[in-house]
Amino acid sequence: MTEKIITRFAPSPTGLLHVGNIRTALFNYLFSLKFSGNFILRIDDTDTQRSKEEYTNQIIEDLNWLGVKVDKIFKQSERLEIYNKYFQDLIDKAFVYKCYETPDELDSKRKRLVARRMPPIYDRASLFLSEQEIKKYIDEGRKPYWRFKLSGKRSNFDDLVRGEVSVDTSAQSDPVIVREDGGFLYNLPSVIDDIDMGVTNIIRGEDHVTNSGIQIEMFEAIGKKPPTFGHHPLLVDENGEPFSKRNSAASIKGLKEKNFEPMAVNSLNISIGTSIEVNAFQSLEVISKELELSQLGRAPARFSMSQLFKLNSNILSRLDTEAVSERLNSIGAVMDEEIWEIIKSNINNLPEYKNWYNIVRGSIKVDDLDGDFMKLALDLLPPEPWGDDTWADWISKIKESSDRKGKDLFLPLRRAITGLNAGPELKKIILLIGYNKVKNRLLGN
Ligand code: GLU
């Protein structure tokens, strides 16, 4: 029997998820979908100072909005007993050791090494303390913190994205796993959860490659086979800068509030830097069939807002009337099918509809009209009834009577009639706006 695939996304609830974070979530979710597996959301909230319930709720809402279906949710803060059990086992087997240095002492050690151009690796001094020295520290009121003892060997693994990877654990400090206040740091609880939840595949950003090398030693210390890892290149913005939790413009919440279609966000996120062509996908199921982690590029993937607008526009133009009505209601607008049909291929984002609704059904004010040209256009404006040929007839008459053509001819008319420099075909728009309003707009009223 083949093993059931279990993946997980493990955000810390210390800020809003951004497009870079959800890239990791999507890779894991799509991988589980592709192999009919399960997808777990694990909230890494052991840092009680920085973790916030509101962010946890927002993460759940964001994933839901994107269409990522979570099979199970776990919070690390509710699993401390389990971590302590495994931790005790590591103590018993001497895979971990107590340390007594203060943060200041560690810092000066680090600085001394750096000054001598040596790698700032922890020297394991606490491993060699005598009983008296330890007693002295304890009497001084110092509380021990704990480190995991790395083997000093190379930790090798076959990465789903990068192929053969080798992490030299002798180039790393023994990781601190428990703070002096007894709180767990990231590495060990992550390994314990991955074991406990039967995670088979861990896909995450390439900033975690070294952690994976370290965690493999923890899996082995606990006596478990490590899962399969895959590290994807990180997402960067148009300027090549990484996304940050502090930049709310690229947050999923922000994109939702700007009325982007979730599948536009998903489609772009998953097609940049992968072998998947940029395309407005209908569903995550469809994307999952195309995803091949081994085909991911190695360069950082660039997320561009202009591409997002394009995909969004593409998806909007293909939505059925019911779906559009629903979305319009949610932004306080009313569906007008005539308007929608004409503008749907010309808008990047749903709120633009409101503007077009106003242009067609409401009133606008345009300044700086070219009075003489408007007067000429008005004189030649065909009388009602109007039909499909009205625009062409009108334009050819204006052309005959003026020396204008191209942009000089169309742009002033477009501006006068719609107030904008671009938009859907005027041939169609004028029929919706109607004779009286067009006349008034040419007059500047
Ligand atoms: N909370 C960690 C992070 O957000 C999880 C990393 C992981 O194990 O996937 O970076």
| Exposed/middle/buried for residue 180 (C-beta within 10 Å: 0-12, 13-18, 19+) | middle
Q: Which of 246-250, 366-370, 372-376 has the lowest mean pLDDT?
A: 246-250
Q: Cα–Cα distance between 52 and 75 in angstroms, integer? A: 12
pLDDT of residue 14: 95
Cα 341 from chain centroid (whole Å): 31
What confidence category does residue 271 fall into, taking pLDDT thresholds of 50, 70 and 90? confident
pLDDT of residue 273: 81
Helix 426-433 × helix 390-401 angle, to 10°:
110
Backbone angles phi, psi at 220, to 5 degrees: -65, -40
Distance from Cα 261 to the centre of ligand 1, integer Å: 27
Contact yes or no for 32/228 (Cβ under 8 A): no
Ligand 1, atom 3, lies closest to the CA of: 11
For residue 11 and ligand 1, the question of a CB distance below 6 A is answered with yes
For residue 12 and ligand 1, the question of a CB distance below 6 A is answered with yes
In order of start, what are the domains of the chain with their CATH numbers? 6-75+190-232 (3.40.50.620), 81-178 (3.90.800.10), 248-317 (1.10.1160.10), 321-357 (no CATH), 371-442 (no CATH)
Ligand 1, atom 7, lies closest to the CA of: 10
Could you tell me the two tokens for 379? 């004189």
For residue 206 and ligand 1, the question of a CB distance below 6 A is answered with no
Q: Cα–Cα distance between 404 and 281 in angstroms, integer? A: 43
Distance from Cα 222 to the centre of ligand 1, integer Å: 20
pLDDT of residue 410: 95
Q: Which string of b and e fits 124-156 if b means at least 16 CB within 10 Å?
A: eebeebeeeeeeebeeeeeebbbbbbbeeeebe
pLDDT at 202 over 80: yes
What confidence category does residue 297 fall into, taking pLDDT thresholds of 50, 70 and 90? confident
Ligand 1, atom 4, lies closest to the CA of: 11
pLDDT of residue 361: 96
pLDDT of residue 1: 59
Ligand 1, atom 6, lies closest to the CA of: 10
pLDDT at 339 over 70: yes
pLDDT of residue 243: 87
Q: Which atom of ligand 1 is nearest to the CA of 21?
A: 4
What confidence category does residue 300 fall into, taking pLDDT thresholds of 50, 70 and 90? confident
pLDDT at 417 over 90: yes
Cα 153 from chain centroid (whole Å): 36
Mean pLDDT of the 300-308 span: 91
Q: Best of 24, 31, 44 to mutate for ligand 1, by most ligand atoms within 8 A of CB?
A: 44
Q: Which atom of ligand 1 is nearest to the CA of 9?
A: 9
Could you tell me the two tokens for 106? 């560690």
Contact yes or no for 291/160 (Cβ under 8 A): no
For residue 42 and ligand 1, the question of a CB distance below 6 A is answered with no
pLDDT at 248 over 70: no
Mean pLDDT of the 224-251 span: 88
**Alpha helix ranges (H) inside 236-350:** 252-257, 262-271, 284-290, 305-318, 321-330, 337-343
pTM of the model: 0.90
The DSSP code for 18 is: B
Mean pLDDT of the 15-41 span: 96
For residue 199 and ligand 1, the question of a CB distance below 6 A is answered with no
For residue 190 and ligand 1, the question of a CB distance below 6 A is answered with yes
Q: Cα–Cα distance between 201 and 8 in angstroms, integer? A: 8
pLDDT at 424 over 90: yes
Q: Cα–Cα distance between 399 and 58 in angstroms, integer? A: 57
pLDDT at 108 over 80: yes
